[in-house]
Amino acid sequence: MFFYSTLELAASEIVEVSMEVKVLFRASKRIHPKFGNVVFGKYTIEPLPTEDSFSTSATNKYLLRFDDEIRAEERRSNPEKEARLILSYLSLALGTKLDFDSLMINSVNTPLGATHTNRNGELLEELPPLDILYNKLQGADIDAARQFLRACEVYRTAVNALGQNNTLSYFLLTVAIECLSNVLGQGDGKCDKFIDFILKHLPDRSELSEEDWRELLKEVYYHHRSGFTHGGKELPEASDLADRLNRIYVRNFIDGKEIRTPGLKWFASVVRQALLGYLMTIANDPDRAIDVVKDLSLEHGAVQLKAKRDIQAFSIVTEQDFELD
């Protein structure tokens, strides 16, 4: 296992350092070849050839590239966490599962834990305004950005669990909203705040009446979220039936009570739209100089260790260089 040294520098050693970061990842939805390299902020997504490219013109394998500039006053960096935050943002923005394959920093390859997506996923004919959304995120205050990116990370975990553990996926989708609704939502309790946040930030609520929206979201919160949290209850089969029939919900009976069970795919779409709708409410600040995502990445990954010897700043080290016992 490799680490990048984050030892503090003496005042005379403080310099600005830039590291080239590359992350190989797969997506369950393929970006149409017409977009070529996708650029937003300092980040570039480059499509890569895959072994199944003979069957489709669009790849599902991509390289995320960016330069991680270690500012003099920071003395350390966390490029892996920054990459994970950006890919979580992309998971939400594109509505896709993402698998991490590997990470390379300045030509040093470090494997990451991997998941498995469907290699023949949906083709993305259109892309959301990634640069606009990213600028909105950069315009958020640090606390709001932190909560939003936590919601993105929970959302990515939820969609990666789709098809493997739908009960957990449903629960995590509600948690993604609660990352923000518990702070920003209006109402007397967490359920009211959950419903208020979604309805306030959904760009289009025309598919249901106000009463139906509230009833279905209460069903999600009390029976799916709380049922799993407090009773370990599985997601009703009616949710899967709604997905297979491409319906918002299916009316069914549970313990003799008639209820309407929303589909998981529908709810995942609602969560994504509400979170992106919230992001669009943030005012842009073109004069803001800070890099929010990078700053938040620096809140993670720092461990103070005792070195066995003097170590040059920004050099690659292993566990053999530290006194761990």
Q: How many CB atoms lie within 10 A of CB 74?
A: 16
The CA–CA distances, whole Å, from 67 to 19, 22, 168, 205 equal 6, 9, 35, 40
Containing structural domain, residue 215: 141-281
What is the spatial distance between Cα 41 and Cα 294, in angstroms, rounded to a whole number?
12
Residue 292 domain-assigned (yes or no): yes
256 residue type, one letter: G
Task: Report residue 293 as tokens.
Answer: 């995502």
Same domain as 159, residue 262:
yes
Residue 157 domain-assigned (yes or no): yes
Same domain as 305, residue 264:
no
Domain total in the chain = 2
Please choose, from the candidates 101, 119, 98, the residue with its C-alpha nearest in 3D space to the C-alpha of residue 110. Answer: 101
* pLDDT of the chain, 325 residues: tens digit per residue: 444 444 344 444 555 678 899 999 999 999 999 999 999 999 999 999 887 655 567 888 999 999 998 877 777 788 888 998 999 999 999 999 888 888 998 888 875 543 444 545 678 899 999 999 999 999 898 999 999 999 999 999 999 888 888 888 999 999 999 999 999 999 999 999 999 999 999 999 999 999 999 999 998 888 777 666 655 677 888 888 999 899 999 998 888 888 899 999 999 999 999 999 999 999 877 677 688 999 999 888 778 888 888 887 767 778 888 889 8
Same domain as 237, residue 303:
no
Per the CB < 8 A criterion, the answer to whether 270 and 202 are in contact is: yes
298 residue type, one letter: L
